Chains A and B, each alone.
Chain A
Amino acid sequence: MEPNVQGNLTQFNEQTLELPSEPMRLNMGPSHPAMHGTIRMVLDLEGETIINVDVQPGYLHRGFEKSCERGNWAQVFPYADRLNYVSPMLNNVGFSLAVEKLLDVQVPERAQYYRVILGELARIADHFTCNGASAMELGAFTPFLWMLKVREWIWDVLEKETGARMTHSFGRIGGMAKEPTSTLKQDTLDMVTKVRDVVAEAESLLLKNRIFLDRTQDVGVLTQEHALQMGVTGPMLRSTGIDYDVRKAEPYSLYDRFDFEVPVGHQGDNYDRFMVRMEEVRQSCRILEQAVSQMPESGPVCVEDPRITYPEKQDVYHTIEATIAHFKLVMEGVKPPKGEVYSSTEAGNGELGFYIVSDGSGTPYRVRVRPPCWYNLQAAREMLVGDMIADIIPTFGSVNMIGGECDR
């Protein structure tokens, strides 16, 4: 069969013997030690160059949205935690805000500051995980552990506050599960100092390294048009130069009271995504400092409506009204009025949306999640075509596809 040297094959020098060749189809995943999460990619390779990628997600589909229809609104929180499991607080906050929008209720200020503090800590943990893993895939093991050390410290703070390191189910409709501890403010400020130091150290480890720069710059390029066509949001979108951040575009949870910037890249390559995430960590530190200084020392941490929040346990034991409130909330659940609402927040990967439909009863009728990395993943194909095999893992790492969020 005559080979076709035209088209999208690499151009050979006329002196080279034209050997017959076909693209090689290589399967990567779903269980691949270097891939983030379970995802399958079917690659068509021309030598080392990728000419086509078929990204096949869905290997972590656990029926999150269907499971939500089998309980109360409050029973969605453990499921929500396990969406983007590297920054669970952000998912919790996102879902709470959606239901509160349907209930048309505002949580007290102290609860909003608390959500911001824990949420930004989770975001820092998310970005450090992503960047650390990206560095490791390029061969730099030390920065990975260096950044994960900070993640451990953050998780220590979260454990002190919520009782669990990662999937803590701490959000509640109408506020938070518990009051903040007395050490929250000091712990957060300590964390901010440490985080800033580690960011500087990690950058110093990587940003002057020739290999790092060569392997991340101009690799996995995402154009602005393509990003917008695919519905990409979050650090991936901002790395292409578009500064869309839900915290600035439609502020929620008092984000309009904080003074922070939205870092933006130029080219949409892996390097820009790495740097955007590092800068976001610095901006999160600024937000944390301001939140800690503005947060009231006392006040309720849940909206005080017995139709939404459990009454005090001592009252439940001794008064009939509290018993009835507790009974109704446990047996029948919070009952948002009939209707549907879409509410979005800025999660670690972009715009996390919840579209919820209530039929007036305590059981959700429909909970649809807009997972940011599902749409981000759509862009992965264009980013990978034309690059080499060795670029797949770092590029895919910088997409930060979290399987739990993508496949739900």
Chain B
Amino acid sequence: MSSNTFTLDGKEIPFEPGDTIIRAAWRQGIEIPHYCWHPGLSIAANCRMCLVEIRSGRQAQMPILKHDPATGQYVPDTKPKLQPACQIPAGEGMEVYAQSEQVKEAQSSVQEFLLLNHPVDCPICDQAGECKLQDYWLEHQAKGKRKLSEPVHKPKGVRFGPTIVYDAERCIMCTRCIRVSDELAQDPVLDMRERGNKNEIVLSPGRELDHDYTLMTEHVCPVGALTSRDFRFKARVWFLKSADGVCSGCATGCTTHVDYDPRKGRVYRLRPRDNEATNQYWMCDDGMMTYKEVHENRVVTPLSSRLGDLDMDTALDTLAELLKTTPSEQVGVSLSALHSTEDNAAWRDFFSTVHPAGGFTVGKRPPWRGDKILRDDDHNPNTKGVEQVLGGAAEALPSGMRVLVALGTHAPLPNDFDPAEPDHHLVVLASNRSELTDQATLLIPVASWAESRGSYVNRKGLSQSFEPAIFPPWDVDPAWKVASRLSERFDTQLQYISIADVPQVQPPPRSTPGPSAQVRA
């Protein structure tokens, strides 16, 4: 950290070399109003909302006509120009004023111009409640409309791609979406067309918005011009609460906000949570869509291929009976790279201390397409975590295995193990249905990632924890708790009452957090 400081409204603000005024203020938690600036994108300086007065140094002047009270005439004069805080680099000893009369008038005027042709869409716009136009109107303008003629009309509801809809009337032409496509997704498919009040965002000819980060264009859009077709009209944001989550899509471990409606117990969407260490400000489309698995294809009640639907206690009794009547060397365990470290640790402990098993392996989703931007080849969030839980022990299932207890929706089935045989038993503890669960002889539900606490270790070895958003279905517990419940039927008992009771493998390494990172071990 450099010791350079400048003053903002009389307050000393430290800055790092290369910081602009707005970035230095943002690091201190002070917001200079802006639309087009984004900490993760290049500077455009086209919205002019962040204009500030800089009273030190040589100031650019602009010609004005000033009223001379002595003569009663308007005489030419100059006055210092306001500068965009997003573009001017902070300098030692600079005197910046963001609350002066001139700045307030400029903010009010900019806001008025932005709303000049804006459609009266608030009741049907998804952005209502998290819209910068609304917030800044209240804080900086708070006046009525002066223009009397009909607003300019532009295309509305333009399908940009399978995920995004564009509304040109609501667009304020900040070009954040263009910069996201160019810089983040490395796919310059969006551009701006025409000039003045005929401006609109268009796709390259013959293309549609189909790269892996299209939902980020919607995320950065400060108004309701770009809306997600998946979320459109589903929920009003003031009814949604946010929980801190970690994406379960791949080993990158992007941190998320899980937005849910507590009245209905439903998760409606994910949003990226700022995190310098993993995802900065972004998430990929597939990661954003992982929330769907919380409410689709869920396993809710235990199912036995022999006995049919069971309740949890009977299912656990059945499993306990099965384990007690099977010798240890014929029991295999498949942990899960899709489950949290705590879930895996609890089951490792169960099968080490309560009823030792013959061998461990790890169930994973097969690799998928990664890229150099955010996505990792490894389609599992917690591969490294499970490795730590096993502590480097060999991953091998015992030969002649008769009972396989698999955590999660994926497990490697060895050739000599066939669940269809009457002697072989496949016990699956999962939250969603999969190919594996369809073959299970005993299927026990566990809570999904949105309903439990836990942590994932990402590809860089960083352990990040997430908190629950909604309550799980009736009598469904997180996997670590199910292990404890099962152990009640044995002589040695795990007795995990809260997640803090599950012994962690090792203290998770800490990373240096960014300005708004919320990494918790």
Q: Are B144 and A321 in contact (CB under 8 A)?
A: yes
Name the residue on B nearest A328 (C-beta): B138
Q: Are B145 and A322 in contact (CB under 8 A)?
A: yes
Q: Are A322 and B144 in contact (CB under 8 A)?
A: yes
Interface check B120, CB cutoff 8 A: yes
Q: Are A319 and B122 in contact (CB under 8 A)?
A: no
Interface check B17, CB cutoff 8 A: no
0/1 per residue, A303-325, Cβ < 8 Å to B? 00111000100010111111111
**At the interface with chain A, which of B128-136, B464-472, B498-506, B508-516?**
B128-136
A residues 311-347 touching B (CB-CB < 8 Å): 311, 315, 317-325, 327-328, 331
0/1 per residue, A197-216, Cβ < 8 Å to B? 00000000000000000000
A residues 267-314 touching B (CB-CB < 8 Å): 305-307, 311
Interface check B18, CB cutoff 8 A: no
Complexed CA–CA distance, A90 and B152 (Å): 49
B residues 92-136 touching A (CB-CB < 8 Å): 115, 118-120, 122-123, 128-129, 133-134
Contacting residue for A320 out of B115, B129, B138, B143, CB 8 A: B115
Q: Are B120 and A317 in contact (CB under 8 A)?
A: yes
Name the residue on B nearest A317 (C-beta): B120
Q: Are A315 and B144 in contact (CB under 8 A)?
A: yes
Q: Are A306 and B122 in contact (CB under 8 A)?
A: no
Give the distance to chain B from A166, nearest Cβ to Cβ, in Å.
Answer: 34
A residues 126-168 touching B (CB-CB < 8 Å): none
Interface check B496, CB cutoff 8 A: no
Name the residue on A nearest B133 (C-beta): A324
**Interface SS of A by simple majority:** helix
Q: A306-B143, A327-B134, A331-B129 are in contact. Are A320 and B118 (CB under 8 A)?
A: yes
Complexed CA–CA distance, A305 and B144 (Å): 10
Q: Are A305 and B122 in contact (CB under 8 A)?
A: no
Q: Are A306 and B115 in contact (CB under 8 A)?
A: no
Interface check B242, CB cutoff 8 A: no
Q: A317-B120, A331-B238 are in contact. Are A324 and B145 (CB under 8 A)?
A: no
Q: Which residues of B contact A320 (CB under 8 A)?
A: 115, 118-120, 122, 145
A residues 180-196 touching B (CB-CB < 8 Å): none
Name the residue on B nearest A318 (C-beta): B120
Interface check B137, CB cutoff 8 A: yes
Q: A324-B133, A327-B128 are in contact. Are A319 and B144 (CB under 8 A)?
A: yes
Give the distance to chain A from B450, nearest Cβ to Cβ, in Å.
Answer: 26
Give the distance to chain B from A325, nearest Cβ to Cβ, in Å.
Answer: 8
Name the residue on A nearest B137 (C-beta): A324
Q: Which residues of A contact B134 (CB under 8 A)?
A: 324, 327-328
> Number of B residues whose C-beta is below 8 Å from A?
18
Q: Are B122 and A324 in contact (CB under 8 A)?
A: yes
Q: Which residues of A contact B138 (CB under 8 A)?
A: 307, 324-325, 328
Complexed CA–CA distance, A115 and B108 (Å): 34
Q: Which residues of A contact B144 (CB under 8 A)?
A: 306, 311, 315, 319, 321-322
Q: Are A305 and B119 in contact (CB under 8 A)?
A: no
Contacting residue for A321 out of B123, B128, B137, CB 8 A: B137
Complexed CA–CA distance, A391 and B115 (Å): 70
Complexed CA–CA distance, A320 and B138 (Å): 12
Q: A327-B128, A328-B134 are in contact. Are A321 and B141 (CB under 8 A)?
A: yes
Interface check B142, CB cutoff 8 A: yes
B residues 132-181 touching A (CB-CB < 8 Å): 133-134, 137-138, 141-145
Q: Which residues of A contact B129 (CB under 8 A)?
A: 331
Contacting residue for A306 out of B123, B133, B142, B238, CB 8 A: B142
Complexed CA–CA distance, A323 and B125 (Å): 12
0/1 per residue, B39-75, Cβ < 8 Å to A? 0000000000000000000000000000000000000
Q: A311-B144, A327-B134, A328-B134 are in contact. Are A321 and B115 (CB under 8 A)?
A: yes
Complexed CA–CA distance, A319 and B149 (Å): 11
Q: A320-B115, A324-B134 are in contact. Are A305 and B120 (CB under 8 A)?
A: no
Residue among B128, B141, B142 with max Cβ neighbours from chain A (10 Å): B142
Name the residue on A nearest B136 (C-beta): A324
Q: Which residues of B contact A321 (CB under 8 A)?
A: 115, 137, 141, 143-145
Q: Are A305 and B142 in contact (CB under 8 A)?
A: yes
Complexed CA–CA distance, A323 and B122 (Å): 7
Complexed CA–CA distance, A311 and B138 (Å): 13
Complexed CA–CA distance, A321 and B118 (Å): 9
Q: Are B145 and A315 in contact (CB under 8 A)?
A: yes
Residue among B118, B133, B144 with max Cβ neighbours from chain A (10 Å): B144
A-B contact pairs, 10 of them (CB 8 A): A305-B142, A307-B138, A320-B119, A320-B120, A320-B145, A323-B120, A324-B122, A327-B128, A328-B137, A328-B138
Known: A319-B120, A321-B145, A325-B142; 20 extra A-B contacts, CB below 8 A, are A306-B142, A306-B144, A307-B138, A317-B120, A318-B120, A319-B144, A320-B118, A320-B119, A320-B122, A321-B115, A321-B144, A323-B122, A324-B115, A324-B133, A324-B134, A325-B138, A327-B134, A328-B137, A331-B129, A331-B238
- 10 closest A-B pairs by beta carbon, nearest first, are A319-B145, A320-B118, A323-B122, A324-B137, A321-B145, A324-B134, A323-B120, A328-B138, A327-B122, A320-B115
